[in-house]
Each structure stands twice: as structure tokens, then as C-alpha cells.
Amino acid sequence: MNLTKEMVGHLKGGIAITVVLASLVFGAISGSGTASMLALGSVFLVALRQGNYDDIFSYGLISTSSSLSSLIPPGVAMILYATITGTSVQDVFLVGLSMGIVFGVILAAYGVFYAIKL
């Protein structure tokens, strides 16, 4: 979280961007959205409260970004899907990575929009 905060923390909405980026990085490490939420959720909630974000937005951002982290390879669900259906793991990982990045950018942009609106 400190790395992503140093990269974008100075921007308007930087805390929201930090939450999204840190979740995606943690998802790349763990492969599980649930693990991302459990490991980082309390830290994110404190940071968002210090940034004057309301609790409803904070809970939504944490849960959504944590669920997005399961799209970033190596997602456990992606490996199971590829194994069960006989699909190429490489193809599933490429699609998951591209969609994870796209949805991550959209979620971070919404966080910036919300911060400007505050």
C-alpha cells in the first residue's frame, strides 16, 4: 500500500486509486479476492476515513476492488475454470489480466470523480 500511495497519493482521489492499485497488486500475489479483502480491508478503511470518504463509498470501493483482484492472474477461479473446461490457461490469464486492468482503471477513475465531487 505504501508503494502505491507514493505513486498516486498526491493526486486528487489518490487514496481511492491507492486502494484499487494495492488490491490488484495483492491479487497478483495471492490470486484471491477474499484474501485481498481480509488482508488489506481494515487498512484501506482507515485510510479512506482519514481522506474524508464516507463509509458507504469506502465499503463499496474495498469490496469491488478486492473482487477485481481475483481477475488478475494467477486467480484461483481462473485456474479452476481452465482446468475444468479444458481451456488454455494462458488464454484465460490474458483475458483476466486485460479485463482486470480495464475495470481497475474504470474504478480508479470513479474514485477520482467521487473525490472531486466531495
Higher pLDDT, 86 or 71: 86
Quote the CA–CA distance of 107 and 77 in Å, as a whole number. Answer: 21
Sorted by sequence, the CB contacts under 8 Å of residue 86 that are 6+ apart come out as none
Cell numbers representing residue 33 in the block:
479476492
Residue 5 predicted with pLDDT over 80: no
**pLDDT per position as a tens digit, 13-59:** 788 888 898 888 888 888 787 888 888 888 889 888 888 889 999 99
Cis-peptide into 74, omega within 30 deg: yes
Of the candidates 39, 37, 78, 43, the residue with the CA atom closest to the CA atom of residue 60: 37
- 109: confidence class by pLDDT, cuts 50, 70, 90: very high
pLDDT of residue 84: 94
Phi-psi region of 12 (alpha: psi -120 to 50; beta: other; left: phi over 0): beta
DSSP 3-state percent helix, strand, coil across the chain (nearest 5)? 85, 0, 15
pLDDT of residue 103: 93
Cell numbers representing residue 41 in the block:
480491508
